Structure 1
Amino acid sequence: MVRPRWLSAQRTGVSRSWLLWDRAIALWAAVNLIWVVFDITYVPFRTFWLQRNLTPLPQVPLVVPLTLLPDITPLYDPVKGIEPHRETQAYLRHFQALDQALSTDAPLAASAAQRSKQVELTLAMINENPFAASGNSGTLEKLKNRLRQRAGLDSAKQSAALLLSDGWLNRQGWQEERRFWQQQILPLVATSYWRSIDENGRPTDHSWRYDLLLFQGVFAFDILLRMVRLRRRFPGLSWRDALLRRWIDLPLLLPFWRWLRVAPVVERLSQAGLIDVEPLRAVISRGVVSLLALELFEVLALQLVDGTQSLIRSPQWPRMIRSLRSHQSVSALQQQSEQPLLGLLRLWGPMVLGQVTPRLTPELQSLLGHALEQSLREVPAGNVVPRALSRQLSAGMVDSLVELSRGTAERLAESDERQAALLQRFGDRFWEELAAALERGDTLERSQLLLCGLLQQLKLNYLAQMNRAGIGALMDELDQLTVPVSDSSGPPPTPPA
């Protein structure tokens, strides 16, 4: 695709210090974009950062541990106003105490009270649903389903009581049950959290402070430096115009819609020479320009045809035709020079009569000879006339016509005031008679109807064909014109001589 002129232009040279500065700011903007993406997705993906496990298929109990990733939730939870939920934390602490009691050699009866308390906490968690505060009500349903599947019952509450009963633990053993609780239940309980609300009724979020101090302040300083550099290159440029030229940097300073920063970041990385976005830009712009060009051309074509139809429907045809006469169409500029129509006649007349017509002598002789031969056959006893006679007559007539055209061309080429006046009088008389003929009868109305109908049919057929062609055909044609042929297909065929 053809590159725009503003992309083809060579950039003015910059000093190495400015280049290093631009690259450092571009990399810092890239770091900011990565942090913005992490900050926006932190709350929805907090469970992943907490457990650092990847579940490719949610319906299949397949977990891929990512132990290399650090646990960043203790550091980043305060930024988002996230605090541990009291009920779930009490549940986890009590389970640790129960685990210690059951891991000893003491009989099960010694931990009956603790197991009964753990069942009560489980029932309270099911009833109160602490996961709703963090918008993860689905986690509670997942926890209840796992309890049902483990116990083989339809009630999650009864399943919790059965899994911690004496009979179940005697049959299964605590070590086996401990693995189930620690791998299937406790990780779900640990995902619950409580998030505070600020004075505006919105969830607490302190990330704007870090964004303002670490990134937006640097970007504002860099934009100011770029404005100074622009004013040094163009002293007549105002501060407002210099700021408007850096409009693409505006998302870097906005505290909302931070995902829009991808545009200035890509632009800065490209200008710093760190990445090459030209192939991607060409693909995107080709599709956008093709779509806009098709829509724009449809509108222009429709407007042109509609304007022509409006002009044709105008009842002022005779007046407009009469305005072409010399004494009505002469403007102040034309009064000092020759008439356009008269000038064309004096330019094209000698060329057509003196140069073009003589070169058509053989063709004119053949055409006129054939016409004379056909005419003589219709006359009685015309078949006896030899063909040579018709050719001789046509040759004589064409020679006379050519000589006449040459003479006329020579006369037109001469500067003759009488000739110019006659031509002008002929043109005025022609326009007057044409306008008068249109005013008589219904010729004007019928002509307007026929011409408007023709344009309407052209408009419908052409626009329908453009819509059927669509963008796909335009893109395919553009690829055929712009994409070079691979060398593996061999050299292109040699055109015939």
Structure 2
Amino acid sequence: MVRPRWLLTPRVAVGRSWRIWDRAVAIWAGVNLVWVAFDLTYVPLRTFWLQRNLHPLPSLPLVIPLTALPDLTRVYDPVKGIEHHRETEDWLAGFARMDRALDGEARGGTGSGAASSDKTGSGKAAGSSNKTGDQSTSAALRRQQVALTVLMIEENPFLDSGNAGTLEKIKNRLRQRAGDESAKQATALLLSDRWLASHPWSEEERFWRQQILPLVETGYWRSIDENGRPTDHFWRFDLLLFQSVFALDILLRVVRLRRRFPGLSWRDALLRRWIDLPLLLPFWRWLRLVPVLERLSTAELINIEPLRAVISRAVVSLLALELFEVLALQLVDGTQSLIRSPQWPRWIRSLRSHQSVSVSDEREVVELLRLWGPMVLGQVAPRLSPELQGVLGHALQQSMRDVPGGVLLPPALSRQLAAGVVESLLELSRSTADRLAQRDNLQVELLQRFGDRFWDELAAALERGGALERSQQLLCTLLQELKLTYLAQVNRAGIDALMDELDELTTPAGPGSPAGEGSTAGG
């Protein structure tokens, strides 16, 4: 692509302190851009930051743990006004209590239930009663967990976080595990005594922790501010840490610009920094990409010229053909409108008036005749003597053939006659050129009168006959054919071929290519 002219101009050198400041602000703007991208994607990607698991293929149970990443939800949830949902929090707490009870039951009870065999019969009876108490406690906790699951299914707390599909995933996994069509009945079956008697809790606990708990943990509740929108405190940190720095930098840039151009007003200086406006906007923060890239490029930290060339090529390829068609159609249609106008005689007569009355008191057309007449008649015409003799000699021979009873002139005689005629004409042209080269008021007046009469007679001829309408019709038809053929040819050729030709013309030749190859490739 062609490099813009403003990129070819050398930049004004700045002081070392200003260069350090510009680079520091550019880096700080890059940090802000990264934070803006993180903030804009935090809520949609909160599940990833919470679990720190990557699912490259969602259709397959393939999980890549990213434990090296920190748990950012504890720090950033308050910024977005996110809190744990009460129902999911109760469900997780209830599962933790049930898990501890079932683990204690699986280990054979606690306390006196694990006493040695030399105890009395009363001690054995006490251990048995403790074990029975643990079983009753776990049974009650399991019934409570079933109730919490049924309540979660009915209330669907995931709607508040915009993850309505999470509940469907939980229900599907419960149904698949229990082989039941009802998620509520599947939960009751999975936590029943009959199911746990044949399925050890160690296996069931793995299912609940790997398949159900990660989904339940994604539920959250987000508070609403006074304007009825979700709470977001990002603007406070952005204003304090970044936008204040950007405002100071913009002010310093305006001051530096006015020092370079003292006649520049404050308003015009601010308008020249219009590209920095997205840095100060509290909305549409993704637009900060443009000023951040501009600052990084100006500070010579990155080179965006290849990216600019690619984007420029894409934009030109999309718009060039349409823009060219519109401009060409406007030009042709405007020309047709002028041709169809009945004001041709008036326009032609205005040429005569323009010669007679001039603002600069100078007759341009007459002066052009005085300048070009001697040059054409005195210098150009004599050099064409051989060609004129050949044309005139051939014309004499052809004219004698057409005369009834005429004889054929010998070529030598025809050339001699032609030479005499041409020499007479050239002598006349030389003398005329000498006369035109001299200052003669009468000559100027005669030329002026000739030009005025010529334009008058031409306008009158167009008014009398049908030549004006016929000429207008023929010229408009010619332009219409031009629109239908040339523009259609451009469409068939496509703009890509033109862009490739432009690249060949503007891209410098490589060190191994022949000299001049880059400049002649387009030909």
**Counterpart position of 1:199:** 226
Residue 201 (structure 2) pairs with residue 174 (structure 1): yes
Q: Please name the residue that 1:41 is paired with.
A: 41
Quote the residue 1:220 is aligned against.
247
Superposed displacement of residue 45, structure 1? 0.5
Q: Is the 8 A contact 1:354 1:409 kept in 2?
A: yes
Aligned match of 2:504:
480
CA distance in 2, matches of 1:399, 1:117: 126
1:393-472 matches, within 5 Å, as 393-472=417-496
**2:282 match: secondary structure:** coil
- One-letter code aligned to 1:151: A
Secondary structure of 1:134's counterpart equals coil
Aligned counterparts of 1:491 and 1:233: Cα–Cα separation in 2: 43
Letter in 2 for 1:29: A
Residues 321-330 or 443-452, more deviating: 321-330
What's the counterpart of residue 285 of structure 1?
312
Q: How much does 1:330 deviate?
A: 1.5
SS in 1 for 2:83: strand
Indicate conservation of the 8 Å contact 1:287/1:475, yes or no: no
Give the match for residue 114 of structure 2.
none
Amino acid at match of 1:277: I
Asked if 1:261 corresponds to 2:288, the answer is yes
Which secondary structure does the structure 2 equivalent of 1:79 belong to?
coil
- What amino acid is aligned across from residue 144 of structure 2 in structure 1? K
Q: Is the 8 A contact 1:290 1:474 kept in 2?
A: no
CA distance in 2, matches of 1:390, 1:262: 83
Gap change, CA 1:427 and 1:72, over 3 Å in 2:
same
Kindly indicate whether the alpha-carbon contact (under 8 Å) linking 2:355 and 2:448 is maintained by their aligned counterparts in 1. Answer: no
SS at match of 1:80: coil
Deviations 1:90-146 (Å, cap 9, x if unpaired)?
A: 111111121122223347954222222222221221111111111101111111111
8 A Cα contact 2:462 2:468, kept in partner: yes
Query: How many Å separate the matches in 1 of 2:447 and 2:396?
Result: 33
Per-residue CA deviations over 1:137-172 (Å, capped at 9, x if unaligned) read 111111111112222332222222222223322333
Classify 1:36/1:444 alpha carbon distance in 2 versus 1 (closer, same or farther; 3 Å). same
Partner of 1:190: 217
Shift of 1:490: 6.1
Cα shift at 1:194: 0.7
Pairwise CA distance, 1:488: 5.7
Structure-1 separation of matches of 2:248 and 2:177: 61
Alignment of 1:114-153 (within 5 A): 114-153=141-180
Write the letter of the residue equivalent to 2:271: L
Q: In the superposition, relative to structure 1, how do residues 414 and 234 fare at CA in structure 2: closer, same or farther (>3 Å)? A: closer
8 Å CA contact 2:397–2:408 kept in 1: the answer is: no
Per the normalisation by structure 2, the TM-score is 0.87
Is it true that 1:32 corresponds to 2:32 in the alignment? yes
* Aligned-pair identity (%): 73
* Aligned-pair CA distance for 1:79: 0.9
SS in 2 for 1:194: strand
Query: Which secondary structure does the structure 2 equivalent of 1:324 belong to?
Result: helix
Q: Distance in 1 between matches of 2:354 and 2:65?
A: 95
Alignment counterpart, residue 416 of structure 2, candidates 392, 416, 439: 392
Q: Deviations over 1:252-288 (max 9, x none)?
A: 1111111111111111111111111122223323443
Match of 1:333 among 354, 360, 363: 360
Asked if residue 243 in structure 1 is aligned to residue 270 in structure 2, the reply is: yes
Deviations along 1:47-69, one digit per CA (max 9) or x if unpaired, are 00000000011110000000000
What is the CA distance between 1:422 and its match in structure 2? 2.4
Find the partner of 1:159 among 167, 182, 186: 186
| 2:176 partner SS | helix
Between 1:255-264 and 1:104-113, the stretch displaced more is: 104-113
Specify the code of the residue in structure 2 equivalent to 1:90: D
3-state SS, counterpart of residue 197 of structure 1: coil
Contact 2:355 2:365 in 1 (8 A): no
How far apart are the structure 2 equivalents of 1:431 and 1:94?
106
Q: CA RMSD in A?
A: 2.4
The 1:19/1:384 distance shift into structure 2, 3 A limit, reads closer
Contact (CA 8 Å) 2:400, 2:408: kept in 1 or not? no
TM-score normalised to the size of structure 1?
A: 0.92
Q: Is the 8 A contact 1:88 1:189 kept in 2?
A: yes
Within a 5 Å distance, the mapping from 1:363-378 to structure 2 comes to 363-378=387-402
Partner residue in 2 for 1:303: 330
SS of the residue corresponding to residue 83 of structure 1 reads strand
CA distance in 1, matches of 2:424, 2:392: 13
1:74 aligns with 2:81: no
For residues 219-275 of structure 1, the C-alpha deviation after alignment (integer angstroms, 9 at most, x for no partner) is 122222222222333333332222222221111111111111111111111111111
Structure 2 runs not aligned, ≥5 long: 109-130
Aligned pair count?
Answer: 492
Contact residue 29 and residue 265 of structure 1 kept, 8 A: yes
